[in-house]
Each structure stands twice: as structure tokens, then as C-alpha cells.
Amino acid sequence: MKKILFILILLVSCKQETKNTKVSGQVFGTSYSIKYYSDSNLNFETQFDSLFYEINKSLSTYQINSIISRINRNEWTHFDDHFVKVFESAKTIYKETQGAFDPTIGVLVNAWGFGPEGKVKDIDSLKIDSLMVSVGFDKVELPKEKFKLPKNTFLDFNAIAKGYAVDVIAEFLEHQKIESYLVEIGGEIRAKGKNIEKQSNWKVGVENPNFDGEQSILKVISLQDEAMATSGTYRKFKVDKNGNRYAHIIDTKTGYPSKTNILSISVIAKNCMTADAYATAFQAMGIENVKAFLKDHLELKVFFIFENAKQEIVTLSLNGFPKE
């Protein structure tokens, strides 16, 4: 009897405990947080930094020597797997949304002051019309070697790259046999498995649309083996010298900031890159067009926060967006 008890104690003492690891910091001009569980003391912070560096060197329009910046200057450059994956996904979503998601709108993003320079330039209808000539992702194809962009065309993947970075980190963790994680970069999220400490699904918040910059949570939902991205017009805007406020979502059909009653859109999809891009596109499309679009895209779950005709803030859940 004593021998059996001794063996049981030995087996229990040898069992590895699941360790909760948290890594956080700053990247892409915002914050990030990565939580994961492993059966050993695994810290991947160095690997995360390397992946962030690679993505920046490929896709950041804020780095003058990145791949995308060189392409925008029509310089000869090799492009890497990160660029190819994002380009091809962007092209698919561009076609699906009939151009509502368009990475070539970057030239107008810059003109309205939401690009790397950060200033609203002297802009009028004539200038917008001239810049719109270079807009249209259908004009850009992935070449075997060097890009030759149409005149004045500016590629900007910032509306999809952050979600892609979330996926890169998530897929790295899965390659390391991590079965439970929560990856968040600037509010874009991907989750797998469970929050083992609390023995529940991962809980994530949808923010209230507060124009004063104060952060508060409107609702908390469960997220498991899915990703969520949010696009809002209540926080990122520019004010010109005349005091006019411009939202950062540019209508790809007109070249002007989108006039919309939508304050925030959250999209749940299987990966964060897809959720990120659709959240941006849906801002420009408007609620009724999104409703029609989602009838053929049941894989996307959507949550709107918007102002109704009485200027009351109301919400709308579509395609089974979770209540909690």
C-alpha cells in the first residue's frame, strides 16, 4: 500500500504545471499584449520582436526603407512573403467589396492628413479629382520582379497590416504547440483555446465610442478560435486650419472622408487580417449595404454602434455576433 502511495505522489510531483506568460509593449505606433499558456517556462519575447521588425520592414509606409515605401517610389526591390500574403488578401477583399476596400486610396489618405506626414494639405475638389485618377487596386498587379505603379499611385496596407501582424504572432504560437493564447495589437485580437486561469473562454471588450478619448467598455463577449477587429471614427480624426474635423475613413468612390452615422464596427472572422480589412470597408459601405453583403458572407459576424435619426446611440448585431 505504501509503495502504491509513493508512486502516486511521484507521478503528481513530476507533472508539469501550465504556466501563464504575458508579454506587452509598443509596436506599430500602438500597444500590444500577448498572453499564452505553456507546460514549461517558454518566453518568446525576442521572437515576437523579430517578427514585428520583419513586418515593419515589409509593410510600414512610415519607414522610408521598407519594401512598400520603396515600391511607392518605384524603386527596384524584392518583396517578401509578408508583402505577398497581404497583397493577395487585399486583392480578394477589394474584389469582394467592389472596391470599398482599396489600398491605393493611400494617396488620398496622405492628402487628407492621415498618412505618414500627418498634416492636412491644401486640398480642393480639383486636387481630389486629379488624385482619384491614380486610385484603383485593379490597376496594380503583383509582378515577378519590380513593381511599376501607375503615376501617383500610393499603396497603403495600414488598414490590413495590423490584423495581419496579429495572425503572424498567433500562427507562430501555434507552431510552438501553444493551444491557448490571446494576441492583441492596438485593439485587434485573435484568440485560441481558453483562459485557463479562469477556466472560461477568453473575454474581450467592445469599447464605447467616446469622442473625449476616455476608454470604457460597452459590452464583453466570449472569443474562441476566432479574431475580432474594430474600426471607429470617434477617435482618429484630423482638424484643419479652419476647424473642420475629418474622419480617417476615405470613401474610395469619391476621395472624401466618409459621411456616415456609424461610430464603430467590430467584425469577427477566422483570422484577424480578414476582420481588419472588412471593418474598414464596412465603414465606407454603410449599414444597409453591409446588411446585404453579409447575406452572402455568413462567416463574418458584425456589431455596429451608430447614431439613429434622433441622434441616439444604438447598436446592431448581425450574423450571430455574440451577445456576451
pTM of the model: 0.87
CB-based contact 105:156 (threshold 8 Å): yes
Mean pLDDT of the chain: 86
Grouping H, G, I as helix, E, B as strand and the rest as coil, residue 181 is strand
Cβ count within 10 A of residue 295: 9
For residues 300-317, one letter each, b for 16 or more C-beta atoms within 10 angstroms of the residue's C-beta and e for the rest, the string is bbbbbbbeeeeeeeeeee
Q: Residue 12 — pLDDT band, cuts 50, 70, 90?
A: very low
What pLDDT sits at residue 17? 57
What is the set of domains in the chain, with CATH numbers? Answer: 19-318 (3.10.520.10)
pLDDT, tens only, 239-268: 556 655 556 678 888 888 877 788 899 999
Q: Among the residues of the chain, which ranges form H helices? A: 2-14, 45-59, 67-72, 81-96, 106-111, 125-132, 158-175, 272-285, 287-294
What pLDDT sits at residue 175? 96
What pLDDT sits at residue 211? 63
For strand 301-307 and strand 19-27, is the pairing parallel, antiparallel, or unpaired?
unpaired
Q: Which of 88, 265, 74 lies closest to 187 in space, CA to CA?
A: 265
Grouping H, G, I as helix, E, B as strand and the rest as coil, residue 202 is strand
| Measured distance CA(279)–CA(302) in Å, rounded | 9
The x, y and z cell numbers of residue 320, run together, are 450571430
Give the number of residues written for the chain.
324
Could you tell me the end-to-end alpha-carbon distance of the chain, in angstroms, rounded to an integer?
Answer: 50
The stretch 183-209 carries a mean pLDDT of 93
Q: Is it the case that residue 9 has pLDDT exceeding 60?
A: no
What pLDDT sits at residue 284? 85
CA distances from 130 to 30, 70, 140, 229 (A): 33, 23, 18, 33
pLDDT, tens only, 88-133: 999 999 999 999 999 998 888 878 877 665 555 677 888 888 889 9
